[in-house]
Amino acid sequence: EDGEDEGRALRMGKRLLRSLALVFGCVAITSL
């Protein structure tokens, strides 16, 4: 059960990182 929870958290973290990178990229592009 612990492994399943860990995988879910990891997947959520990856999604969060991707969206964060997307937002950061947009901000960088607009600031140029």
pLDDT at 3: 72
Output the pLDDT for position 1: 62
Q: For residues 3 and 17, give the distance between their C-alpha atoms in angstroms, rounded to a whole number.
A: 21
pLDDT digits (tens, 9 = 90+) for 1-32: 667 888 999 999 999 999 999 999 999 999 98
